[in-house]
Structure 1
Amino acid sequence: MSRYQRTHDGSEQKTTTLELFYDLVFVFAITQVSHFLLEHLTWQGAGQAALVLLVVWWSWNYTTWVTNELDPEAIAVRLLLIGLMLASFLMAIAIPEAFGDRALLFAGAYVTIQIGRHTFLTFVAAGPGTVERERSKRILIWFVVAAVFWIAGGLADGSLRTALWLIGLAIDYGGPLCTFWVPGMKRIPPSAWELEVSHFAERFQLFVILALGESIVVTGATASKEDLSAERLASFAVAFLGTAAMWWVYFNAAAAVAQRRLELATNRTTLARDGYTYLHVLMVAGIIVSAVGDELVIAHPGEVLHGAEVVAVVAGPAIYLLALVLFRLRMAGTLSVKRTLGAAGCIVAGFVGTTVSALALGALVVAILVAVITAETVTGAHRRARGEPSPLEAVG
């Protein structure tokens, strides 16, 4: 057992104020990614923004797994989180020029976060011969190998930098799929990771709230800089309602049902890895793209958008709904037809996007989200009328 491990007394763990303080940096980081995408609204820019988001997510995600086990009230753990927060802040500052003059700062900060965290876990938090040390040792080896490509990419230029960083990213994201297997070392089963479900699920739910909050900030900041005509006020309302609808779709039932299924799962670590570590970043990506679309709609409500601008408006909600479809499929083994149709509807809306105003397109996308919510609400009402259990009650 780790000398800094949380004590398990049977009560549910709650997110601490230190963890919430740590998350503040990632509000800024998500805003940086959103602005990066808006300023580079091309396929290349979208790919670069996706890479940056995956890096930001991976640094936050691992810390969340760590704080699920470690006691944040311990002085050493507090100092670790504050140090990681500083490095994350530096990484976020570098995002606008991550593929330019600040590439080495971006990569160096990320490497410092990953290696620093697991050096602490391996040699400070965990005692010799413990399963915690064996786990952290293997993860640290993977991070060190990936770091070679991250730092090399920071020193390189152009397409070579991108190629090196993609290799580093593939190593980082591939590690959990093989439980960080290292040649010559005994495999560690997924069951070696302990998981306190209520705290773990809450942390990922809060990150979705954090991303939605960034969307609210972007919407407000964009509107406050423009002349508030009736058309622009309408676009502001549409953008807000779109964000509210995305909150509703996730927190109406999906979050609670998934958490309950995770509590009852025998393969808890693997399920948490797939449903939360991998799939939640797609939800965040959808929210970020939606925020960019909202900025465009508010800035140009009466104009007809074209090309990448139309894609930004419709792709965000589509990605978000598809991510939720995959999340339910992985956590519950069932397919959400309504959300799949909603995502398809958003894509279809893109084909008419170049013939109507930005405000009309934004309103159409919000109408699709509301239709999904309405359909699910009606289905729930019919289920209750027949005396059938709700999705959460059906889990047990």
Structure 2
Amino acid sequence: MLLAVMLVGLFMNAAIPRAFNDAGWVFVATFLLIHIGRTVWLLRVGLDEVNQEHFVRVLIWFITAVPLWLTGAVVCGGAGLAWWVVAALVGLAGDWTVYPLPGRRLQSRQVGLAGGYLLERGRLFMIIALGETVMTTGTALTAAPHKPVTLLTAGVAFTGTIALFWLFFGSCERVGRHYEWTEDAMRAGRSGVISLMASVTGLIAAAVADERVIAHPMEHAGLITNLLLFGGGPGLFIATQSWHGAGLFDGLYWSRLLALSCLVVAGMLTLAATVYLAVVIAAAIVVVLAALEERRPTGDAHAKPTS
């Protein structure tokens, strides 16, 4: 099943750049084949009664959205995107509500999930994202003139990236213990996957910002650059991780809230500053946050969660 998904996914990914032109049908056909085929395969491997019920619901909800995906392929362009957004929202709604059906109730705590395995896959995914981010920084540095300010900017950008990953991996042990003890592993896992995707989005934004500042370190930052440097990059990453932690452990750390506030204020104050100064400030905020998190007492991490 995994190899078949990889093969079909190869064609789906190849169709994405032209999905709003002549390759819309290829994208939709392969996308539907992956999701429907994978779910049907799971229903035939001898799952327990609860998981069998769960994936029947998943299949029904996804088939409900099939007309929306097909309509998006027919109309193409911006209208096609609108249809696909609605179809994606249907899937997300089903995911968040555990795919309810009339007269048939199923609580997420009834569905088993190997939380530790999911967390390990998430760690590996983040390591790949780290490699891509570092490679983007290296590629930008190779193409830029090797002046002192360029080298400084690249070093600072790399340091900020490492600090973000320090924040992620620093909490993995505590999250892993929660997955082992929680009575609702499906809810925790769903939150983990969503936060992982949003965090990777933040890393992509940070990589784009690093590329811009390394190429033009002496220019004025401007709105777009600062949105990437302070908001879309570290801001989104830290906010997502904070939301995930608050959902698991019922609390927000003041250090993260303070860091997010500092990123917002610094992003507005450095709009007219040079790019290298803006990246230094953004990286400094993330590095200080990582240092504060490293010094935080860990005694509460050993307490068994209640849900």
TM-score by length of 2: 0.91
Kept in 1: contact 2:110–2:184 (CA 8 A): no
1:160 aligned to which of 62, 75, 79: 79
Kept in 2: contact 1:293–1:314 (CA 8 A): no
In the alignment, what sits opposite 1:96? 17
| Distance of aligned partners of 1:174 and 1:373 in 2 relative to their CA distance in 1, 3 Å threshold | same
1:286 aligned to which of 177, 202, 206: 202
Deviation at 1:322, TM superposition (A): 0.6
Matches within 5 A, 1:372-387: 372-378=289-295, 380=296, 383=297
Deviation at 1:155, TM superposition (A): 2.1
Kept in 1: contact 2:24–2:76 (CA 8 A): no
Q: In the alignment, residue 211 of structure 1 is paired with which amino acid?
A: A
Kept in 2: contact 1:318–1:344 (CA 8 A): no
Deviation at 1:255, TM superposition (A): 1.4
| Distance of aligned partners of 1:367 and 1:153 in 2 relative to their CA distance in 1, 3 Å threshold | same
2:189 aligned to which of 272, 293, 299: 272
Q: What SS is found at the alignment partner of 1:228?
A: coil
**CA-to-aligned-CA distance 1:233-291 (integer Å, 9 cap, x gap):** 22221221111001111112x21111211211122222222x21322222122111111
Kept in 1: contact 2:116–2:179 (CA 8 A): no
2:273 aligned to which of 329, 337, 356: 356
TM-score by length of 1: 0.71
Whole-Å Cα distance in 2 between the matches of residues 228 and 109 of structure 1? Answer: 45
Whole-Å Cα distance in 2 between the matches of residues 279 and 361 of structure 1? Answer: 26
In the alignment, what sits opposite 2:259? 342
Q: What SS is found at the alignment partner of 1:213?
A: helix
Deviation at 1:152, TM superposition (A): 1.5
Deviation at 1:394, TM superposition (A): 3.8
Whole-Å Cα distance in 2 between the matches of residues 100 and 362 of structure 1? Answer: 38
1:237 aligned to which of 144, 150, 155: 155
Whole-Å Cα distance in 2 between the matches of residues 240 and 192 of structure 1? Answer: 43
Deviation at 1:173, TM superposition (A): 0.7
In the alignment, what sits opposite 1:107? 28
| Distance of aligned partners of 1:320 and 1:187 in 2 relative to their CA distance in 1, 3 Å threshold | same
Kept in 2: contact 1:258–1:332 (CA 8 A): no
RMSD: 2.1
Deviation at 1:200, TM superposition (A): 1.6
Whole-Å Cα distance in 2 between the matches of residues 339 and 368 of structure 1? Answer: 10
| Distance of aligned partners of 1:205 and 1:236 in 2 relative to their CA distance in 1, 3 Å threshold | same
Q: How many residues align?
A: 304
Structure 1 residue runs of 5 or longer lacking an equivalent are 1-79, 384-388
Whole-Å Cα distance in 2 between the matches of residues 198 and 350 of structure 1? Answer: 37
| Distance of aligned partners of 1:89 and 1:305 in 2 relative to their CA distance in 1, 3 Å threshold | farther
Deviation at 1:87, TM superposition (A): 2.5
In the alignment, structure 1 residue 84 sits paired with structure 2 residue 2: no
Q: In the alignment, residue 126 of structure 1 is paired with which amino acid?
A: G
| Distance of aligned partners of 1:374 and 1:130 in 2 relative to their CA distance in 1, 3 Å threshold | closer
Deviation at 1:117, TM superposition (A): 0.7
In the alignment, what sits opposite 2:89? 170
Q: What SS is found at the alignment partner of 2:222?
A: coil
Whole-Å Cα distance in 2 between the matches of residues 213 and 146 of structure 1? Answer: 35
Kept in 2: contact 1:342–1:369 (CA 8 A): yes
| Distance of aligned partners of 1:318 and 1:108 in 2 relative to their CA distance in 1, 3 Å threshold | same
In the alignment, what sits opposite 2:228? 312
Kept in 1: contact 2:61–2:94 (CA 8 A): yes
| Distance of aligned partners of 1:239 and 1:93 in 2 relative to their CA distance in 1, 3 Å threshold | farther
Whole-Å Cα distance in 2 between the matches of residues 98 and 302 of structure 1? Answer: 38
Deviation at 1:390, TM superposition (A): 2.8
Kept in 2: contact 1:146–1:172 (CA 8 A): yes
Q: What SS is found at the alignment partner of 1:241?
A: helix
**CA-to-aligned-CA distance 1:286-328 (integer Å, 9 cap, x gap):** 1111111111111111111322222112111001111111111
Q: In the alignment, residue 294 of structure 1 is paired with which amino acid?
A: D
Deviation at 1:159, TM superposition (A): 3.2
Q: What SS is found at the alignment partner of 1:86?
A: helix
In the alignment, what sits opposite 2:244? 327
Whole-Å Cα distance in 2 between the matches of residues 358 and 119 of structure 1? Answer: 52
Whole-Å Cα distance in 2 between the matches of residues 251 and 391 of structure 1? Answer: 17
Q: In the alignment, residue 155 of structure 1 is paired with which amino acid?
A: V
Kept in 1: contact 2:109–2:183 (CA 8 A): no
| Distance of aligned partners of 1:354 and 1:225 in 2 relative to their CA distance in 1, 3 Å threshold | same
Kept in 2: contact 1:126–1:132 (CA 8 A): no
Whole-Å Cα distance in 1 between the matches of residues 189 and 112 of structure 2? Answer: 11
Kept in 1: contact 2:68–2:87 (CA 8 A): yes
Whole-Å Cα distance in 1 between the matches of residues 148 and 240 of structure 2? Answer: 34
Deviation at 1:202, TM superposition (A): 1.0
**CA-to-aligned-CA distance 1:169-215 (integer Å, 9 cap, x gap):** 1111111222212236x333324422223212111222222222221
